[in-house]
Amino acid sequence: MSRLEKNKFINYKKIDENIATVRKRLGRPLALSEKIVYGHLDDAANQDIVRGESYLKLRPDRVVCQDATAQMAILQFMSAGMPEVAVPSSVHCDHLIQAKVNGIEDLKVAKDVNGEVYDFLQTACAKYGLGFWKPGSGIIHQIVIENYAFPGALIIGTDSHTPNAGGLGAVAVGVGGADAVDVMAGIPWELKCPKTIGIKLTGKLQGWASPKDVILEVAGILTVKGGTGAIVEYFGPGVDGISATGMGTICNMGAEIGATTSMFPYTESMDRYLRATSRAAIADASRAFSHHLTPDEGHQYDQVIEIDLSKLEPRINGPFTPDLMTPISKMKETAIKNNWPEKMSVGLIGSCTNSSYEDMTRAASLARQALDAGLKAKSGFTITPGSEQVRATTERDGLLETFREAGGVVLANACGPCIGQWDRSDVEKGTPNTIVTSYNRNFTGRNDGNPATHAFVASPEIVTAMVFGGSLHFNPLTDSLDTPSGKPFKFTPPAGKELPSKGFDLGEDTYQAPPALEARSTVNVKVSPTSNRLQLLEPFAKWSGKDYTNAAVLIKTKGKCTTDHISMAGPWLKFRGHLDNISNNMLIGAINAENGEANKVRNQLTNKWDAVPATARYYKAQGLPWVVIGDENYGEGSSREHAALEVRHLGGVAVLVKSFARIHETNLKKQGVLPLTFANPADYELIRPDDRIDIVGLESNFKPGQQLTIRLNRKDGSKPVEFKVNHTFNENQIEWFKAGSALNKMSQ
Ligand code: F3S
């Protein structure tokens, strides 16, 4: 499966058998993504399969986690008491490195600042059999495409841009930590059966146009929501002219249109990339399997879009949203019309999206032209290699030196400014300014935390050329620049190489393989009991077997209550590995129906107003269970498992709402909390803040499809009120509840 894991093998046979079973059952030809997804079904013979409706139970080949999300995922996995992960898994230290001076200096600082997190991840990986990629090794998605992805793989990753591996023909999906934990613990992964969007590529990219422009165009067409619930499949004669890494760029940014993932059919460029990255055996195996790595003749997509690559002009998308697409020839007039800051303060190239050898050679070819004409960068200029392999190879081949000569700063092989890890000193916070990046996301404040920064997204070629113009109005395809010699300079289109002719240089060895199983018992997972950022998890207590009685209403929320309201991000991110500390943000954004305010509830025991987490802690200390009451679509937003863990940790037993966002509902079940919905939504109005709640029927009749009863015991002594509530637990999930959590059940 990977050159780093000698005893793990690709199971094309299982995919083949599953495809045959499903094709026969459905009686129709299949799209490529269907073949790969259904090829990984846990039970192909009996799985319900309706696109856009059924929930598939799948067996992914691999789990990958970045360091910010890995912390809680691994802590949870540890609490299940299993000896090792059930599927090949790895952790990548890329998100916690802040860009300030340059790659070397910044990496040193990061190792110091995040030392305890790295130590924890490193020792936990060794103990439980995960591969560990040290800080400086590179960005998760680049490392995955270099080492782990293969045509026909099903990969889940705790990061939205996991789909990058679609460039190598994998179905690779970004998930929350809870899903990663399940798969690492051997529980099948649930995915709503995706719809399919086909994007037919014809023609061939010419001159300045690059794979990035394909996805910028797609984002413009489909918008940030257009891919929701679907896998985007590229097909048509145009795919053959694109490199594997170029296809990776296109799939990576498919996250910007909300797609489940994006992917390409098998191409010769995949074969070339596999061989160039020392995976000849996998190249041979996938070639032999390539009949399954293209869609079946006559299959139907849910939607089809066509793009002629020959006519594609470079685009710049933004600011503030990746789907605001402007062809470069229209940028000047559009920028003037919208009053976007003209001066380009910084151009940033690289990242997980765009730092392939091809990208770097094309960008460097432009920098070289400008340097030869006597020009230097007019804007700030940063280069982020996606991996140590990319860094070492581009350093060896003189590309990084070309960028430095132009005034560029090579940052660490890490996310850096792409995820806001950018200690920027050239512009005061609040000052409007323009930056152009070859990254993928450009939401307000994403890169530098400055809401006034206008971030635009373009190809690395366009960013590099624009750095020499220093202006958002500069169109390198048509405009000339003044040079010291007085002779005007105009760029000629970039030229690059798909793969390094001298082969890749692996650079410094930054990978730690898990020790053999026997050696793992001596590994001590390092978590300091006094740590602020990390805390070992105790398994949650199992259900007592009795109905819950006399539970307090912690908060009756009103209106929108997303996972951000339940567990805020921002400054709280640093506590992601410390459940008790991060629980201090529980529900602080939710609006209390009683007073219309956030983070202010009446403590029913003391009768004093207090913060929500403080009140929950008080009830917990007094042994008083509590519930949350909510409105429609409670828990929408991200798949953040902290939103469920915190409720459980602080003593919540149930969340009763008009309706749930499904992922949050499942996350609550996994943590042993009861997600319940009003059988009659109007009963929401019956609940008073000082009611005490009994949940009746758990003891006598907790079964799938069987309603439970809520009894409201009134403080004023009036007659209790009863009504019915629904739940969606299946048999298996009821076992999770009884055991105290899904992980407790697994460890039993
Ligand atoms: Fe990192 Fe940015 Fe990619 S945050 S994983 S470089 S999208």
Question: What spacing in Å lies between the alpha carbon of 170 and ligand 1's midpoint?
Answer: 19
**701 assigned to some structural domain:** yes
When divided into structural domains, the chain yields a total of 2
Task: Map residue 475 onto helix, strand or coil.
Answer: coil
Domain ranges, residue 688: 548-747
Return the best residue to mutate from 159, 411, 457 for the ligand 1 pocket (most ligand atoms within 8 A of CB).
159
One domain for residues 574 and 455 = no
Question: What spacing in Å lies between the alpha carbon of 310 and ligand 1's midpoint?
Answer: 29
In the prediction, which pLDDT does 517 show?
A: 85
Alpha-helical regions (H) of 427-562:
460-469, 517-520
Alpha-carbon distances, residue 460 vs 40, 79, 99, 384 (angstroms): 36, 44, 19, 11
Closest ligand 1 atom to 161 CA: 7
Task: Map residue 481 onto helix, strand or coil.
Answer: strand
SS3 of the chain: helix, strand, coil, percent, to 5: 35, 20, 45
How many Cα atoms within 13 Å fall on the side-chain side of residue 552? 23
Last residue in a domain, options 453, 469, 485: 469
Closest ligand 1 atom to 353 CA: 3
- pLDDT < 50 regions, the chain: none
Q: What is the pLDDT of residues 689-714, one digit of tens each?
A: 999 999 999 999 999 999 999 999 99
CATH number of the CATH domain containing 664:
3.20.19.10
One domain for residues 731 and 594 = yes
**439 assigned to some structural domain:** yes
Q: Whose CA is nearest to atom 3 of ligand 1?
A: 352
Question: What spacing in Å lies between the alpha carbon of 92 and ligand 1's midpoint?
Answer: 12
In the prediction, which pLDDT does 597 show?
A: 97
Closest ligand 1 atom to 386 CA: 6
Q: How large is the ipTM?
A: 0.98
Return the best residue to mutate from 137, 419, 447, 457 for the ligand 1 pocket (most ligand atoms within 8 A of CB).
419
Q: Which residues fall within 8 angstroms of residue 173, CB to CB, at 6 or more apart?
A: 155, 156, 157, 162, 163, 191, 260, 261
Closest ligand 1 atom to 441 CA: 7
**235 assigned to some structural domain:** no
One domain for residues 553 and 461 = no
Q: How far, in Å, CA of 177 to CA of 159, rounded? A: 9
Return the best residue to mutate from 90, 94, 97, 356 for the ligand 1 pocket (most ligand atoms within 8 A of CB).
94
Residue 679: Cβ within 10 Å count: 14
In the prediction, which pLDDT does 198 show?
A: 98
Q: How far, in Å, CA of 147 to CA of 158, rounded? A: 17
Q: How far, in Å, CA of 482 to CA of 280, rounded? A: 49
In the prediction, which pLDDT does 571 show?
A: 76
Q: Whose CA is nearest to atom 1 of ligand 1?
A: 415
Return the best residue to mutate from 382, 439, 447 for the ligand 1 pocket (most ligand atoms within 8 A of CB).
439
**Residue-by-residue DSSP string for 154-214:** EEEESSTTGGGGGGGT-EEEE--HHHHHHHHTTPPEEEE--EEEEEEEES---TT--HHHH
In the prediction, which pLDDT does 661 show?
A: 87
Question: What spacing in Å lies between the alpha carbon of 372 and ligand 1's midpoint?
Answer: 33
**331 assigned to some structural domain:** yes
Return the best residue to mutate from 66, 354, 418, 440 for the ligand 1 pocket (most ligand atoms within 8 A of CB).
418
One domain for residues 455 and 582 = no
One domain for residues 561 and 448 = no
The pair phi, psi for residue 147, each rounded to 5°, is -125, -30
Cβ(96)–Cβ(576) below 8 Å: no
**110 assigned to some structural domain:** no
Q: Which two tokens stand for residue 95?
A: 């998100």
Last residue in a domain, options 441, 469, 497: 469
Q: How far, in Å, CA of 458 to CA of 548, rounded? A: 56
| Ligand 1 site, CB within 6 A | 94, 139-141, 159, 161, 351-352, 415, 418-419, 439-440
Last residue in a domain, options 469, 493, 527: 469
Question: What spacing in Å lies between the alpha carbon of 513 and ligand 1's midpoint?
Answer: 23
One domain for residues 576 and 704 = yes
User: Of 160, 93, 128, 79, nearest to 645 (Cα)?
Assistant: 79
**223 assigned to some structural domain:** no
Question: What spacing in Å lies between the alpha carbon of 442 and ligand 1's midpoint?
Answer: 12
Question: What spacing in Å lies between the alpha carbon of 94 and ligand 1's midpoint?
Answer: 8
**525 assigned to some structural domain:** no
Question: What spacing in Å lies between the alpha carbon of 351 and ligand 1's midpoint?
Answer: 6
In the prediction, which pLDDT does 640 show?
A: 83
Closest ligand 1 atom to 164 CA: 3
Q: Whose CA is nearest to atom 2 of ligand 1?
A: 418
pTM: 0.91
Helix (H) or strand (E) holding 22: helix 12-26
In the prediction, which pLDDT does 685 show?
A: 98
Closest ligand 1 atom to 140 CA: 5
CATH number of the CATH domain containing 318:
3.30.499.10
One domain for residues 574 and 678 = yes
Q: Whose CA is nearest to atom 4 of ligand 1?
A: 419
One domain for residues 563 and 711 = yes
The pair phi, psi for residue 622, each rounded to 5°, is -90, 0
Alpha-carbon distances, residue 100 vs 347, 484, 568 (angstroms): 15, 31, 26
Closest ligand 1 atom to 159 CA: 5
One domain for residues 458 and 566 = no
One domain for residues 580 and 432 = no
Q: Whose CA is nearest to atom 6 of ligand 1?
A: 415
**604 assigned to some structural domain:** yes
Before 319, cis peptide (omega within 30)?
yes
Catalytic residues: 94-95, 159, 441, 638, 640
Question: What spacing in Å lies between the alpha carbon of 221 and ligand 1's midpoint?
Answer: 23
In the prediction, which pLDDT does 462 show?
A: 98
